[in-house]
Structure 1
Amino acid sequence: MAKNLPAYVLRDCTLFVDKESHIGQTDEIVLPVLEVKTEEMRNGGMIKPRRIHLGYSTTDASFTFTSFDPALISLFGLEAGKEIPIIAYGYFQDEDGVSHDGRAEMRGFFTKNDAGTWKAGDVASNATEFTAHSYRIFMDEEEILSVDDFEVKRNGVSERPGRRTALRFD
């Protein structure tokens, strides 16, 4: 990649929901946002409080479809414990022509389904919201981020490597 040229520019994307392709039917994909949950703390002797890292907020995603797919709508409100697999695929290209394939894998459930407004002559949309219990992001088949209820890994390295052992997860 030549220096000072844009890299990893998203050129196209699609979505698979519960192993079914929605190519050509996905208008927008909003991947889960990893946001640090903080709280102010001031111990004895401190002249000002400081924010401490308490973990992460829930990881939610959203998807907008240009189709009114009954199979997709039927996935809303499934009973507790049934997680839906969702995979977003992206085609990225550097300005020097090098191509990259990206993938975001999520597991969780739909929390909202908005069938939108139906109007003759306009494209109908179906907006959904999804809570991801776990998700992983890959670029060129290498895992760059992994998040679940107990751990965050960046490039395969755990954020808190001794935590699983200390809490007897393994």
Structure 2
Amino acid sequence: MALPKKLKNFAMFGDGESWVGEIPSVTLPKITKKTEEYRAGGMHGPVEIDLGHEKLELGIKAGGLKTQLIAMLGSQTVGANIFRFAGAYQDEATGQVTAAEVVIRGRLREWNPNEAKAGEDNDHEFTIAASYYKLTVNAQELLEIDVPGMVFRVGGTDHYDTIRAAIGMAFGVN
């Protein structure tokens, strides 16, 4: 019998600093391929043409005032800050734990301090516009997206290497 692997706990880090105990939830980037419908004469129906992917965003909910995140509003480059999510997923059938790590580079785009009420919890929400995303599970790289470097690597295969070469971007990347 198979059961799902469930997130049992996680740690969040920003620019190398541990935020353990300060971040109650994280919304990891949604990976969405950007496609366009195409149909021409002689085709029975439309197909979806791959045009890259949609923008990547990381959502972080802080358990209160988090000045290090607020200070990131001053970041001037697309990959100014580094965020790391380390999650422990446990298989409910076997008890085996799987390590999942997401590394993101980006810059803070939005800070929402939400409603403040005396004597009540006040979470602050942050949105990071990501320019780099890498997912590693049990030390195996599953997905790497480097937007400025034009890298889209899935399972170790770089799907844009020939495109980079064709347009003169055949230099070494990450």
- Is the shorter-chain TM-score for this pair beyond 0.5, marking a shared fold? yes
CA distance in 2, matches of 1:49, 1:8: 37
- Correspondence for 1:84: 81
Q: Identify the residue that residue 159 of structure 1 maps to in structure 2.
A: 159
Among 119, 129, 133, the alignment partner of 1:121 is 119
Deviation at 1:58, TM superposition (A): 0.8
CA distance in 2, matches of 1:81, 1:90: 25
Cα contact 1:115–1:126 (8 A) shared by 2: yes
Q: Amino acid of the residue matched to residue 137 of structure 2?
A: M
Structure 1 residue runs of 5 or longer lacking an equivalent are none
Q: Which amino acid aligns with 1:59?
A: L
Residue segments in structure 2 that go unaligned for 5+ positions in a row: none
Q: Show the counterpart of 1:147.
A: 145
Give CA deviations for 1:8-50 in whole Å, capped at 9, x if unaligned: 3210112101111111111211111111112222323446443
Aligned residues: 167
The letter of the residue matching 1:128 is: F
Aligned to 1:24: 21
Name the % identity. 25
Runs of 4+ in structure 1 off by over 4 angstroms are none
C-alpha separation between the residues in 1 aligned to 2:100 and 2:45?
43
Three-state SS of the structure 2 residue aligned to 1:138 is: strand
TM-score of the superposition, structure 1-length normalised? 0.89
Instruction: Name which of 60, 65, 72 aligns with 1:63.
Output: 60
- Aligned-residue RMSD, C-alpha: 1.8
Q: CA deviation at 1:133?
A: 0.4
1:138 — aligned with what? Answer: 136
Taking the aligned partners of 2:104 and 2:78, their CA distance within structure 1 comes to 15
**Aligned-residue offset at 1:98:** 1.2
Distance 2:90 2:44 in 1: 50
Q: Higher mean Cα deviation, 81-90 or 123-132?
A: 81-90
CA contact (8 A) 1:27 1:64 kept: yes
Mapping of 1:31-70 within 5 angstroms? 31-46=28-43, 48-70=45-67
Alignment of 1:88-127 (within 5 A): 88-95=85-92, 96-127=94-125
Q: Give the drift of 1:162.
A: 2.2
Q: Which residue of 1 aligns with 2:169?
A: 169
Query: Structure 2: which amino acid aligns with 1:156?
Result: G
**Cα distance in structure 1, aligned partners of 2:83 and 2:163:** 28
Greater mean alpha carbon deviation, residues 41-50 or residues 100-109: 41-50
Q: Answer whether contact 2:79 2:132 (CA < 8 A) is retained.
A: no
Equivalent position amino acid for 1:54 in 2 = L
Q: Which residue of 1 aligns with 2:11?
A: 14
Contact conserved, 1:14 with 1:89, CA < 8 A, in 2?
A: yes
